[in-house]
Amino acid sequence: MRLLALLSITFGTLGMGGCFYIDPINQRPGLRIENNTAGQIERGQQDLTLQAIADDPEEQFVGFHWRVYICSDAADFATCDQEPTLFSLLDSITFDVPTHRIDPDGPGSELARPAESLLVILEGKDDHGATAKPAQELIIPLDDASPNLVLDQLPLYDSVIGTPIDLYAVYGDADDAIEGVTIEWKAFSPSQVEINLTDLTGLGQPTDPNRRQVGKQLVPTALGSWDIVVTATDPIGKSTVEHLTVVVGPDNPPCLEQWSPIALPDGNFLPMTEPTLFQVPVVSDALDRYPTVLDPVLDPASLLGPTVFVWSLKQGSGPRAPLAATGNSVALDPASFSPGEELELRVEIFDRNDVPISCGDTEQTCSVISTACIQRQTWNVEVR
């Protein structure tokens, strides 16, 4: 009886109609990172935006977790900061691209290493706990701005051969500390021979704290165009190269720039009725100018000297006689001569090269280099 009852219960149960419910497997969501910033990403660039895109088969809500690391080479996590510079739970992130890593450049260093790339890690989980695998990773190389560099020159002695010429470089960098930029100078003569430059010290600095000024001094030993090559290099190795052309010339003869009174054309006479001062107020010259410069700021190498003035006087048809005057002026008094007497007063100038004035004695003016720069001026005077 017990066996029959058991069989009856068993078969009765199996004969009943029934169904089984099994929960579906919750599939993992898929993730991708969308970079909404077009073009190359630069260090220090503002408002870089990244968007998280989720593809969940069950269309469930997916929560995100962002981490952004600053790296030297994001392909090798050992070169990245160990702590993220940014984390977020939002579906998109917008941030300014860092210029430097968080970690300093070695023990005791105050300078941070430059940021060269970013490692972005995006993780996601749907609201049923399924985690996206693998996490999405995006490596963003960072473009490095080149240093900016401006060159200038200050030839205090008109770029004459053998005289010093000061050279200046003002530099900065948009995405690197100014202390990390190095400057290299090279100087090539017209024959492409490289020569050494000397440092300039005690230079003033730009008002902008992110710019610096350095200088060198060139003392050229050859005539022609010198090529000054300056290279500014940032800590990553990005360089800017600028050239400065320095044209070096000879020490030309001095030039009479001003004289008084006016000198009339040949054959015309200036009447002299009272004592008259004939003078040369200005002589231009690279080294031996008048008035002579006595300012150490304008003549730091103490190279400037005086113009040499040579005066002479010819009375009527007589011979030309040198005068004892050595300065820039001579005074003539009509009382010292006969009324109606014709005089020819002449001044000639020389610098340290003492180039001979080769023009004939009858020529009222003379240029030893056949230009508008003259070294002789003559006054024809009639005593009254």
What are the tens digits of pLDDT across the range 163-221?
999 999 999 999 988 998 999 999 999 999 999 999 999 999 999 999 999 999 999 99
Could you tell me what percent of the chain has a pLDDT over 70? 92
Q: What's the CATH number for 30-141?
A: 2.60.40.10
What are the tens digits of pLDDT across the range 257-293?
999 999 998 889 999 999 999 999 999 999 999 999 9
Closest CA to 184 of 153, 209, 149, 210: 149
DSSP 238: -
- Residue that wins the pLDDT comparison between 22 and 98: 98
The domain locations on the chain are: 30-141, 148-248, 255-383
Confidence of residue 109 (pLDDT cuts 50, 70, 90): low
CA distance 25 to 28: 9
CA distance 227 to 153: 12
- Confidence (pLDDT) at 63: 94
Confidence of residue 127 (pLDDT cuts 50, 70, 90): confident
What architecture does CATH give domain 255-383? Sandwich (2.60)
The per-residue b/e assignment along 324-360, b for 16 or more CB within 10 angstroms, e otherwise, is ebeebebebebeebeeeeebbbbbbbbbeeeeebebe
Position 103 pLDDT exceeds 90: no
Position 347 pLDDT exceeds 80: yes
Position 6 pLDDT exceeds 80: no
Does this chain's domain 30-141 share its CATH topology with 148-248? yes
What are the tens digits of pLDDT across the range 131-174?
999 999 999 999 999 999 999 999 989 999 999 999 999 999 99
Mean pLDDT for the chain overall:
91
Q: What is the pTM of this model?
A: 0.76
- Confidence (pLDDT) at 110: 56
Position 7 pLDDT exceeds 70: no
Residues in the chain: 384
- Confidence (pLDDT) at 14: 45
- Confidence (pLDDT) at 71: 95
CA distance 99 to 41: 11
Domain spanning 148-248: CATH 3.40.50.1000: no
Distance set, CA 55 to CA 24, 34, 63, 91, 259 (Å): 18, 13, 12, 13, 93
